[in-house]
Amino acid sequence: MDQAAVKLAPSILAADFARLGEQVAQAEQAGADRIHVDVMDGHFVPNLSMGAPIVASLRRVTRLPLEIHLMISNPDLFLDEFVEAGSDSFLVHWEANANLHRTVQRIKALGKRAGVAINPATPAAALEEILQDVDQVLVMTVNPGFGHQHFLPTTLPKVRRVRRMIEQARLGCEVEVDGGIDPETAPLTVAAGANVLVAGTAIFDGGEGVATAMNRLWASIRQGAGQLSGVFAKE
Protein backbone atom coordinates (compact mmCIF):
# COMPACT_ATOMS: atom_id res chain seq x y z
CA MET A 1 0.00 0.00 0.00
CA ASP A 2 1.34 3.40 -0.94
CA GLN A 3 0.27 6.21 1.39
CA ALA A 4 1.47 9.59 2.62
CA ALA A 5 3.31 10.10 5.89
CA VAL A 6 1.36 9.26 9.01
CA LYS A 7 -0.06 12.27 10.83
CA LEU A 8 -0.68 12.60 14.55
CA ALA A 9 -3.76 14.36 15.92
CA PRO A 10 -3.34 14.83 19.69
CA SER A 11 -6.68 14.67 21.50
CA ILE A 12 -6.83 17.28 24.23
CA LEU A 13 -9.36 15.20 26.16
CA ALA A 14 -6.41 13.69 28.01
CA ALA A 15 -4.53 16.99 28.45
CA ASP A 16 -4.05 18.83 31.72
CA PHE A 17 -6.65 21.58 31.29
CA ALA A 18 -4.81 23.85 33.71
CA ARG A 19 -1.89 23.79 31.25
CA LEU A 20 -3.79 23.39 27.98
CA GLY A 21 -2.09 26.17 26.01
CA GLU A 22 1.35 24.97 27.04
CA GLN A 23 0.63 21.35 26.12
CA VAL A 24 -0.87 22.27 22.75
CA ALA A 25 2.20 24.42 22.00
CA GLN A 26 4.41 21.43 22.84
CA ALA A 27 2.37 19.22 20.49
CA GLU A 28 2.69 21.83 17.73
CA GLN A 29 6.44 22.06 18.20
CA ALA A 30 6.79 18.29 18.17
CA GLY A 31 5.11 18.07 14.75
CA ALA A 32 1.42 17.45 15.42
CA ASP A 33 -0.63 17.74 12.25
CA ARG A 34 -3.80 19.04 13.95
CA ILE A 35 -5.45 19.26 17.36
CA HIS A 36 -8.39 16.92 17.94
CA VAL A 37 -11.18 18.38 20.10
CA ASP A 38 -13.73 15.90 21.50
CA VAL A 39 -17.17 17.41 21.99
CA MET A 40 -19.69 15.31 23.97
CA ASP A 41 -23.27 16.10 24.89
CA GLY A 42 -24.25 13.49 27.50
CA HIS A 43 -26.86 12.23 25.03
CA PHE A 44 -25.21 10.72 21.98
CA VAL A 45 -22.48 9.54 24.35
CA PRO A 46 -22.77 9.08 28.12
CA ASN A 47 -20.31 11.85 28.98
CA LEU A 48 -19.87 15.63 28.84
CA SER A 49 -16.74 17.36 27.68
CA MET A 50 -16.19 20.77 26.11
CA GLY A 51 -17.69 23.35 23.79
CA ALA A 52 -16.82 26.23 21.48
CA PRO A 53 -15.17 28.48 24.14
CA ILE A 54 -12.29 25.98 24.41
CA VAL A 55 -11.84 26.17 20.63
CA ALA A 56 -11.76 29.98 20.79
CA SER A 57 -9.04 29.81 23.45
CA LEU A 58 -7.01 27.28 21.47
CA ARG A 59 -7.32 29.41 18.33
CA ARG A 60 -5.37 32.13 20.12
CA VAL A 61 -2.43 29.88 21.01
CA THR A 62 -1.89 27.62 17.99
CA ARG A 63 -1.73 27.79 14.20
CA LEU A 64 -2.54 24.10 13.89
CA PRO A 65 -5.87 23.13 12.33
CA LEU A 66 -8.51 22.48 14.97
CA GLU A 67 -10.47 19.31 14.24
CA ILE A 68 -13.78 19.04 16.05
CA HIS A 69 -15.11 15.55 16.76
CA LEU A 70 -18.80 16.12 17.38
CA MET A 71 -20.15 13.29 19.53
CA ILE A 72 -23.48 15.05 19.82
CA SER A 73 -27.00 14.28 18.73
CA ASN A 74 -27.70 17.41 16.74
CA PRO A 75 -24.48 18.65 15.16
CA ASP A 76 -26.21 21.16 12.86
CA LEU A 77 -27.23 23.27 15.83
CA PHE A 78 -23.64 23.97 16.83
CA LEU A 79 -21.71 24.29 13.56
CA ASP A 80 -21.88 28.09 13.29
CA GLU A 81 -20.75 28.57 16.85
CA PHE A 82 -17.74 26.28 16.37
CA VAL A 83 -16.81 27.91 13.06
CA GLU A 84 -16.92 31.33 14.67
CA ALA A 85 -14.64 30.04 17.42
CA GLY A 86 -12.02 29.09 14.81
CA SER A 87 -12.62 25.44 13.92
CA ASP A 88 -11.12 24.06 10.71
CA SER A 89 -12.80 20.70 10.28
CA PHE A 90 -15.66 18.64 11.65
CA LEU A 91 -16.13 14.94 12.20
CA VAL A 92 -19.80 14.03 12.47
CA HIS A 93 -21.15 10.63 13.42
CA TRP A 94 -23.04 8.47 10.96
CA GLU A 95 -25.06 7.13 13.93
CA ALA A 96 -26.05 10.58 15.22
CA ASN A 97 -27.60 11.96 12.11
CA ALA A 98 -30.56 10.97 9.97
CA ASN A 99 -29.57 13.71 7.50
CA LEU A 100 -25.85 13.18 7.22
CA HIS A 101 -25.60 14.35 3.61
CA ARG A 102 -27.22 17.68 4.51
CA THR A 103 -24.88 18.19 7.47
CA VAL A 104 -21.81 17.41 5.35
CA GLN A 105 -22.95 19.90 2.70
CA ARG A 106 -23.51 22.54 5.40
CA ILE A 107 -19.99 22.02 6.73
CA LYS A 108 -18.59 22.43 3.23
CA ALA A 109 -20.73 25.52 2.61
CA LEU A 110 -19.14 26.98 5.74
CA GLY A 111 -15.77 26.45 4.02
CA LYS A 112 -14.61 23.69 6.38
CA ARG A 113 -13.37 20.14 5.91
CA ALA A 114 -15.94 17.45 6.58
CA GLY A 115 -15.43 13.94 7.86
CA VAL A 116 -17.74 11.12 8.87
CA ALA A 117 -17.11 8.99 11.96
CA ILE A 118 -18.33 5.44 12.47
CA ASN A 119 -18.67 3.53 15.74
CA PRO A 120 -17.24 0.06 16.27
CA ALA A 121 -20.57 -1.65 15.49
CA THR A 122 -21.21 0.35 12.31
CA PRO A 123 -20.06 -1.43 9.15
CA ALA A 124 -17.76 0.15 6.57
CA ALA A 125 -20.54 -0.35 4.03
CA ALA A 126 -22.51 2.46 5.75
CA LEU A 127 -20.03 4.87 4.15
CA GLU A 128 -20.76 3.84 0.60
CA GLU A 129 -23.11 6.71 -0.27
CA ILE A 130 -21.26 9.48 1.58
CA LEU A 131 -17.61 8.67 0.87
CA GLN A 132 -17.41 10.82 -2.27
CA ASP A 133 -18.61 13.85 -0.28
CA VAL A 134 -16.14 13.80 2.62
CA ASP A 135 -12.48 14.68 3.14
CA GLN A 136 -11.89 12.08 5.81
CA VAL A 137 -13.32 9.01 7.52
CA LEU A 138 -12.87 8.42 11.23
CA VAL A 139 -12.99 4.79 12.25
CA MET A 140 -13.62 4.66 15.99
CA THR A 141 -11.35 2.05 17.53
CA VAL A 142 -13.17 2.31 20.89
CA ASN A 143 -16.77 3.15 21.69
CA PRO A 144 -16.98 6.96 21.75
CA GLY A 145 -17.44 8.86 25.01
CA PHE A 146 -14.31 8.33 27.06
CA GLY A 147 -10.55 8.52 26.82
CA HIS A 148 -8.23 5.89 28.35
CA GLN A 149 -10.09 2.94 26.83
CA HIS A 150 -8.62 -0.22 25.34
CA PHE A 151 -8.22 -0.43 21.58
CA LEU A 152 -10.71 -2.84 19.96
CA PRO A 153 -8.72 -5.09 17.60
CA THR A 154 -11.93 -6.14 15.86
CA THR A 155 -11.97 -2.68 14.21
CA LEU A 156 -8.76 -3.38 12.23
CA PRO A 157 -10.39 -5.31 9.36
CA LYS A 158 -12.80 -2.38 9.04
CA VAL A 159 -9.93 0.10 8.69
CA ARG A 160 -8.64 -2.14 5.90
CA ARG A 161 -12.08 -2.22 4.23
CA VAL A 162 -12.45 1.56 4.40
CA ARG A 163 -9.01 2.07 2.86
CA ARG A 164 -9.89 -0.37 0.09
CA MET A 165 -13.21 1.40 -0.61
CA ILE A 166 -11.38 4.74 -0.91
CA GLU A 167 -8.77 3.30 -3.25
CA GLN A 168 -11.33 1.53 -5.40
CA ALA A 169 -13.32 4.75 -5.80
CA ARG A 170 -10.05 6.67 -6.42
CA LEU A 171 -10.84 9.20 -3.70
CA GLY A 172 -8.39 11.24 -1.68
CA CYS A 173 -10.04 10.83 1.76
CA GLU A 174 -7.92 10.46 4.84
CA VAL A 175 -8.46 7.43 7.05
CA GLU A 176 -8.27 8.37 10.71
CA VAL A 177 -8.44 6.14 13.79
CA ASP A 178 -9.44 7.24 17.28
CA GLY A 179 -9.29 5.46 20.62
CA GLY A 180 -6.67 3.41 22.42
CA ILE A 181 -3.89 4.40 20.01
CA ASP A 182 -0.49 3.81 21.62
CA PRO A 183 2.92 2.51 20.49
CA GLU A 184 1.55 -1.02 20.39
CA THR A 185 -1.63 -0.36 18.41
CA ALA A 186 -0.47 2.55 16.19
CA PRO A 187 1.58 0.39 13.77
CA LEU A 188 -1.31 -2.05 13.44
CA THR A 189 -3.69 0.70 12.35
CA VAL A 190 -1.15 2.13 9.91
CA ALA A 191 -0.58 -1.29 8.41
CA ALA A 192 -4.35 -1.58 8.00
CA GLY A 193 -4.47 1.71 6.08
CA ALA A 194 -4.88 4.55 8.60
CA ASN A 195 -2.90 7.71 7.86
CA VAL A 196 -4.15 9.99 10.68
CA LEU A 197 -3.89 8.77 14.27
CA VAL A 198 -5.76 10.44 17.13
CA ALA A 199 -4.11 9.88 20.50
CA GLY A 200 -4.97 11.35 23.88
CA THR A 201 -3.68 9.21 26.74
CA ALA A 202 -0.56 8.10 24.84
CA ILE A 203 0.47 11.73 24.21
CA PHE A 204 -0.66 13.67 27.27
CA ASP A 205 -0.91 11.18 30.09
CA GLY A 206 2.39 9.32 30.25
CA GLY A 207 4.34 11.77 32.40
CA GLU A 208 7.21 11.69 29.88
CA GLY A 209 6.31 14.93 28.09
CA VAL A 210 4.36 15.54 24.91
CA ALA A 211 7.30 15.53 22.47
CA THR A 212 8.80 12.31 23.84
CA ALA A 213 5.41 10.62 23.71
CA MET A 214 4.81 11.70 20.11
CA ASN A 215 8.27 10.57 19.07
CA ARG A 216 7.62 7.22 20.69
CA LEU A 217 4.47 6.85 18.60
CA TRP A 218 6.29 7.73 15.38
CA ALA A 219 9.13 5.36 16.26
CA SER A 220 6.66 2.53 16.76
CA ILE A 221 5.13 3.27 13.37
CA ARG A 222 8.56 3.35 11.69
CA GLN A 223 9.43 0.07 13.31
CA GLY A 224 6.16 -1.40 12.12
CA ALA A 225 6.85 -0.03 8.65
CA GLY A 226 10.20 -1.80 8.65
CA GLN A 227 8.43 -5.07 9.28
CA LEU A 228 5.54 -4.47 6.89
CA SER A 229 6.85 -3.36 3.53
CA GLY A 230 5.16 -0.47 1.75
CA VAL A 231 3.89 1.30 4.86
CA PHE A 232 5.45 4.69 5.38
CA ALA A 233 5.92 6.56 8.68
CA LYS A 234 6.84 10.19 9.34
CA GLU A 235 10.59 10.77 8.94
Binding site for ligand DX5 (CB under 6 A): 11, 13-14, 36, 38, 69, 142, 144-149, 178-181, 198-202
Q: Can you tell me the distance from the alpha carbon of 26 to that of 28, in angstroms, rounded to the nearest whole number?
A: 5
Choosing among ligand DX5, Zn ion, none, which partner's interface includes residue 193 (Cβ < 5 to 8 Å by kind)?
Answer: none
In the complex with ligand DX5, the residue whose CB is nearer, 48 or 109, is 48
In the complex with ligand DX5, the residue whose CB is nearer, 52 or 177, is 177
CB of 161 to ligand DX5, least distance (A): 21
By beta carbon distance, the residue nearest Zn ion is: 69
The active-site residue, picked from 33, 41, 135, 178, is: 178
Catalytic annotation present for 182:
no
Catalytic annotation present for 38:
yes
Spatial strand order in the sheet of 174-178 = 7-10, 196-199, 174-178, 136-140, 113-118, 89-93, 66-71, 35-40
193, 162 Cβ separation under 8 angstroms: yes
In the complex with ligand DX5, the residue whose CB is nearer, 1 or 7, is 7
CB of 21 to ligand DX5, least distance (A): 18
> φ, ψ for residue 6 (rounded to 5)?
-75, 135
